[in-house]
Amino acid sequence: MNESEAQVAALAAYFARHSAVPLAAQRPALLFRPPAGLDAVAELRPGPCVQSHKPTAEALQQSGWQVLDAPRETCRLAIVFATKHKEEILHHLALAAEALEEGGSLILVAANTLGAPSLERRLGELTGRTETFSKHKCRVVRAFKADAQLNPALLADWKRGGELRRLPATGCYSCPGLFSWKSLDLGSRLLAARLPADLSGCGADLGAGYGYLAREALQCAPGIRELHLVEAEGKALAAAQLNLADVAGTRRLHYHWADVTAGLPLVRLDFVLMNPPFHAGRAPLPALGRAFVREALRLLKPGGRLLLVANRQLPYEAEIRSMGGEIGSAEETQGFKIIQATKVRQADAQARLSM
């Protein structure tokens, strides 16, 4: 069981044991960052949830959940699922506490590996009183909203801590929960420093994050006339729009909240840039990076260029060749490799296997 599955199983066990928890007194609960697979929690009826990760959001919508980017209404029960970013969890706890009506319940579900004991303590600091249930190496912590006991300074602090803002250290807008949110990734910096000034035409940044690589490309290559930023995390895309506002000029920018591995409606690109992901949550998932590489080659026109940075040990070369790419240069430095490849032929359609 991975952390998400364990959290869902722990919540199901909690409801099975605590049938008296007012399951929203017939109103649906408000969920923050729920994983897909909530059908396992029989007591939960689909309702509103805050989820900005596209593949998860789509899976939830297919099960009848209403995906929001922020709470719209008050609720009697709010459930926050822990993620790997502490500031993001605290931000969601603050939003949940704010959305709750007086006397409502706030439930935090956190795997021990995501810091459950310390999160339980923090939630107690915010609300004054908590109850805990442990199962599947997770804690399910229930707090009660009583305005008289709520710590307003902490609530304001946690809320602010998760918001999008410009960080002096990077010069970029970002927020907790995004890849490398408060320091520029070394791999991306190495690729940025090697971006050719003659990149031109229409291209894409796959897994664009908060837009750092795209920004660097637009700044160094005036011949870029159009750029597609594709990113699964909606908050990253919102940050990218702010980060590119002053470098776009007359170039056309397109923002796609999309899963790269699901296939993109783009064709005949002149270039693709990327620092492909190879994790799902905290678990390594090298197949994800390979799927990115296949999609990048598929989108390029013959003669189109791929510029990619990856950890040195990740084996993308075979993927590039199998999709009709020819590697022009592969430089290794500081634990990374920067690959420049050209698409020389159309790949066999069969080669584009799903993950």
Ligand X SMILES: C[S@@+](CC[C@H](N)C(=O)[O-])C[C@H]1O[C@@H](n2cnc3c(N)ncnc32)[C@H](O)[C@@H]1O
Which residues in this chain contact ligand X in the complex, by CB under 6 A? 55, 179-180, 185, 188, 207-209, 212-213, 230-233, 236, 259-261, 275, 277
CB of 17: closest distance to ligand X in angstroms? 35
- Strands 224-231 and 283-284, by their bridges, are unpaired
Cα separation of 5 and 13, whole Å? 12
In total, the chain counts a number of residues equal to 355
Minimum distance from residue 162 beta carbon to ligand X (Å) = 16
Closest CA to 159 of 93, 235, 232, 241: 93
Nearer to ligand X, 41 or 190 (CB): 190
Closest CA to 56 of 255, 259, 288: 259
Nearer Cβ to ligand X, position 96 or 172?
Answer: 172
Q: d(Cα 285, Cα 328) in Å, to the nearest integer?
A: 27
Interatomic CA distance for residues 228 and 127, integer angstroms: 44
Q: How far apart are CA 272 and CA 307, in angstroms?
A: 6
Q: Distance between CA atoms of 249 and 325, rounded to whole angstroms?
A: 32
Residue with tokens 């990253």: 236
* Residue among 114 and 236 whose Cβ is closer to ligand X: 236
Alpha-helical runs (H) found in the chain: 3-17, 54-62, 86-99, 116-127, 152-161, 186-193, 212-220, 234-244, 286-299, 317-322
Report the residue number, 133 or 212, with the smaller CB distance to ligand X. 212
Nearest approach in angstroms of CB 283 to ligand X is 13
Contact 28, 79 (CB under 8 A): no
Tell me the C-alpha distance between 257 and 271, whole Å.
Answer: 20
Indicate the residue among 15 and 278 with the shorter CB distance to ligand X: 278
Distance CA(296)–CA(159), nearest Å, equals: 37
Tell me how far, at minimum, the Cβ of 169 lies from ligand X, in Å.
14
Nearer to ligand X, 91 or 145 (CB): 91
Burial 138-170 (b: 16+ CB within 10 A, else e): bbbbbbbbeeeebeeebbeebbebbebeeeeeb
Please identify, using beta-carbon distances, which residue of 55 and 128 lies nearer to ligand X.
Answer: 55
Name which of 120 and 233 has its Cβ closer to ligand X: 233
CB of residue 261 to ligand X, shortest distance in Å: 5
Q: How far is the CB of 305 from ligand X (least distance, A)?
A: 17
Cβ-based nearer residue to ligand X, 168 or 303: 168
Selection from 165, 169, 240, 171 nearest residue 207 by Cα: 240
Half-sphere exposure in the Cβ direction for 243 (13 Å, CA): 32
Query: Do residues 271 and 280 make contact, with C-beta atoms less than 8 angstroms apart?
Result: no
Which CB, 34 or 187, lies closer to ligand X? Answer: 187
- The minimum distance between CB 23 and ligand X, in angstroms, equals 33
Q: How far is the CB of 189 from ligand X (least distance, A)?
A: 9
Least distance (Å) between residue 310 CB and ligand X: 9
Least distance (Å) from ligand X to the CB of residue 180? 6
